[in-house]
Structure formats: C-alpha cells, structure tokens
Amino acid sequence: MDAVLSGDDEAYRVLVERESANVISLCQRMLGDPYEAEDVAQEAFLQAYRSLPTWRADGPFGAWVWRIAMRMSVARLKKRPTDLRADPSRPQGWLVDTDRADDPVSRLLGAEQRHEVQAAIDTLPSAQRQVVSLRFFSDRSLEQISTETGVPLGTVKSRLHRGLTSLRKHLGSTR
C-alpha cells in the first residue's frame, strides 16, 4: 500500500489481481448474476482507487475494497425492480458441486437443492440476503459481518434470524 499511496499504479494492479476473485465472488453472491458482479467489482476497485487519499490504513486493503463492493452491491439491488430475482435455471459458477464429482445422481440432486436454496435466498429482502450470504457463503462471524457492514451486532443477529426463518418457511413449503 505504501507504493500505491506513493503513486505506483503497477502496485495497485497487483492488489487488484490479488483481491479480485474474492470481490467478484462477493458481488456474485449478492447479485446472483456473474456479469453484473464483474461490473460492480470493477466499479468498486475504481472507487477504491479514487478514494485512496481517504484510506485510513486501519485494516487490510482487501477488507476495505470488499466493504466498498458490498455497499455498491446493496445499492445496485435497491435499484432493481422488486420482482426481479435470479433465475434458478441460470448457471451460477459458485454453485458447482465439487464434493460429489464421481456420483452423477448425487451431483444432480445436490445442484437442484442448491438452486432451490439460492432461489429462496433471492426472495429475501436485501438486508437479510446480505447477512445470510455473508454468514454462510463467505463464512463470516456475526462480529465480522457487523464490522464490515457497519450494522450493530444485534441488528445482524435479528436479520440473520428473520432471514433463516423465512428460508425455512419458503423451503418447507416447496417440498
């Protein structure tokens, strides 16, 4: 970061290459669309670059750009029409089952279940979807989610509980 702050654009490129997979993955989980995720991730890295003078160095660069990408993803979700949801039939790379690669039947059933779960997650309000995604797909602790989103811990717990309750109802009614 010292080199980047000194004006070394090549050093920033290295940071972008190092962090881009995590940022794109976050955006894809939040938005459900790999192309839109790449757009938002690129915008997040541009915003981070423009905001370098305001970087406080109170944590790693990756966490900082990750928070920027998360806020941009939430903002993009808020601009969507309320009835727009991810299409469960659309291929989503992060749902690929690697645990059962040798059993085609198990692989097919697992993929169907993951699509069903993803479709249910897509029906959640954006605040609940964000917390559920961060908790279970990014393996963040509740404290990390609170810190990264700037939302009080109690609110994070409440959103997670409400989101999981909604998912149980939705998934229970589809079986």
Name the least confident of 3-12, 30-39, 83-92: 83-92
Domain that holds residue 63: 1-84
Burial 48-84 (b: 16+ CB within 10 A, else e): beeeeeeeeeeeebeebbbbbbbebbbebbeeeeeee
Report pLDDT for 84: 38
Confidence of residue 157 (pLDDT cuts 50, 70, 90): very high
Name the least confident of 9-18, 74-83, 130-139, 164-173: 74-83
Q: Is residue 79 part of a domain?
A: yes
Report pLDDT for 173: 63
Q: In which residue are the tokens 């939705």 written?
A: 170
Q: Is residue 120 part of a domain?
A: no
Q: Is the pLDDT of residue 95 over 50?
A: no
- List the CATH number of the domain containing 37: 1.10.1740.10
Q: Is residue 72 part of a domain?
A: yes
Q: Is the pLDDT of residue 139 over 60?
A: yes
Name the residue type at position 130. Q
Q: Is residue 11 part of a domain?
A: yes
DSSP 34-47: HHHHHHHHHHHHHH
Name the residue type at position 162. R
Average pLDDT in the 12-23 region?
89
Q: Is residue 113 part of a domain?
A: no
Q: Is residue 137 part of a domain?
A: no
Name the pTM for this structure. Answer: 0.52
Q: Is the pLDDT of residue 82 over 80?
A: no
Number of domains in the chain: 1
Q: Is residue 24 part of a domain?
A: yes
Q: Is residue 116 part of a domain?
A: no
